């Protein structure tokens, strides 16, 4: 991990000011002479800038993010607790961590921080910006805010705005956190019980009934207590508490709720039309948090957009686990866009309605990835 220190005051969209920034990031591969072989990966809620830690099988020689061809960048988001300025950082005015006093930030603020890092790295053009979930929020905003910079945009399991459904999950998690007195009292070590409960709520939106009913099924018909599903919820909550800040979790759920690419731009359809990049929208058929209608809406309202759907057992978390399917889809998109650009035709790609990447081949490997993510504390 590297740190870029930005010493100029940073103004947020909501009007607050941070006296400076620390931006944590990882890079893989080498920037070419034209400074345009860049894949910019935007991470999701509780991930970090180390792509290899949370998206195994994606970065490396001959993999999708091929380190022999591309310069891959991932920056830890503003407000997180993995190196970039956030609630756990020290407020220079008080000499103490910001905690709940950290200002409201938006997805646009994150993108502005990405821009600070891009300029620091000397990147002139971005081959592809890719993101899933709130990483998709960032990727969309980046493509709207810097339309001439980004050539290709890949959105997975995400949307053009935070839906009322997703916002309700965020608020439910925050209600659980506020029920923890140690969090509301701004205790630096507080909020752990609330975060554990919030994580349990979040998991219900990340998975599916089929996944729970398969992986957490009881074998003992006589059991009255200590059910597997209950233990799993507690286990996952404890894992997140060990690795993530409750104050960052609060900040980032509030940030997610601000997402609306149409704000101040004449509405979402107008904002989507302003994107110059060629767009790939990937939906997951079983995703409860960001149903496929969200990705189809983007594809139908943006120019140069294609929609592909993944048939997956894993729900929203399918973007982390279905790496073979994601790789196949994105590589095909790159091949087609490269051909389009070489031919100079610039034709809009039609929505690939009904096209799905079916389960079958790779199912065993997906199960292995699922178990790896569980051991790593991510799944």
Q: Which residues are catalytic?
A: 133, 287, 316
Report the C-alpha gap between 107 and 105 in whole angstroms: 7
CB 173 within 8 A of CB 253: yes
Give, rounded to a whole angstrom, the gap between the first and last alpha carbons of the chain.
22
User: Which string of b and e fits 297-320 if b means at least 16 CB within 10 Å?
Assistant: bbbebbebbbbbbbebbbbbbbbb
For 101, half-sphere exposure in the C-beta direction (CA atoms, 13 angstrom radius) is 16
Nearest alpha carbon to residue 146 among 110, 113, 115, 106: 115
């Amino acid at each position: 991990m590297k740190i870029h220190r930005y010493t100029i005051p940073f103004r947020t969209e909501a009007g607050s000011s941070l006296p400076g920034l620390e931006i944590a990031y990882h890079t893989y591969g080498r920037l070419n002479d034209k400074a345009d072989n860049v894949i910019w990966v935007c991470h999701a809620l509780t991930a970090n800038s180390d792509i290899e830690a949370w998206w195994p099988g994606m970065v490396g020689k001959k993999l999708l993010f091929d380190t022999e061809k591309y310069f891959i960048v991932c920056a830890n988001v503003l407000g997180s607790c993995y190196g970039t300025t956030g609630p756990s950082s020290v407020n220079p005015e008080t000499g103490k961590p910001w905690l709940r006093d950290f200002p409201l930030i938006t997805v646009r603020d994150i993108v502005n921080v990405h821009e600070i890092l891009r300029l620091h790295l000397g990147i002139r053009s971005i081959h592809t910006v890719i993101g899933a979930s709130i990483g998709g929020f960032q990727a969309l905003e980046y493509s709207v805010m810097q339309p001439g910079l980004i050539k290709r945009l890949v959105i997975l399991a995400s949307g053009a705005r935070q839906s009322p459904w997703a916002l309700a999950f965020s608020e439910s998690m925050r209600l659980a956190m506020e029920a923890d007195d140690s969090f509301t009292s701004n205790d630096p070590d507080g909020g752990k019980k609330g975060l554990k409960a919030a994580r349990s709520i979040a998991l219900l939106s990340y998975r599916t009934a089929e996944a729970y009913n398969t992986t957490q099924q009881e074998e003992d018909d006589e059991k009255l207590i200590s059910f597997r599903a209950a233990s799993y919820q507690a286990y996952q909550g404890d894992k997140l508490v060990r690795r993530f800040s409750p104050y960052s979790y609060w900040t980032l759920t509030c940030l997610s709720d601000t997402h609306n690419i149409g704000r101040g731009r004449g509405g979402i359809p107008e904002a989507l039309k302003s994107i110059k990049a060629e767009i790939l929208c990937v939906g997951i058929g079983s995703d409860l948090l960001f149903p496929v209608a969200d990705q189809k809406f983007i594809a139908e309202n943006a120019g140069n957009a294609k929609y592909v759907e993944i048939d997956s057992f894993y729900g929203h978390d399918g973007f982390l686990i279905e790496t073979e399917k994601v790789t196949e889809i994105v590589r095909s998109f790159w091949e087609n866009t490269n051909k389009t650009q070489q031919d100079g035709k610039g034709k809009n790609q039609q929505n690939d309605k009904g096209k799905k990447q079916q389960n079958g081949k790779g199912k065993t490997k997906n199960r292995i990835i699922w178990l790896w993510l569980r051991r790593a504390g991510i799944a």
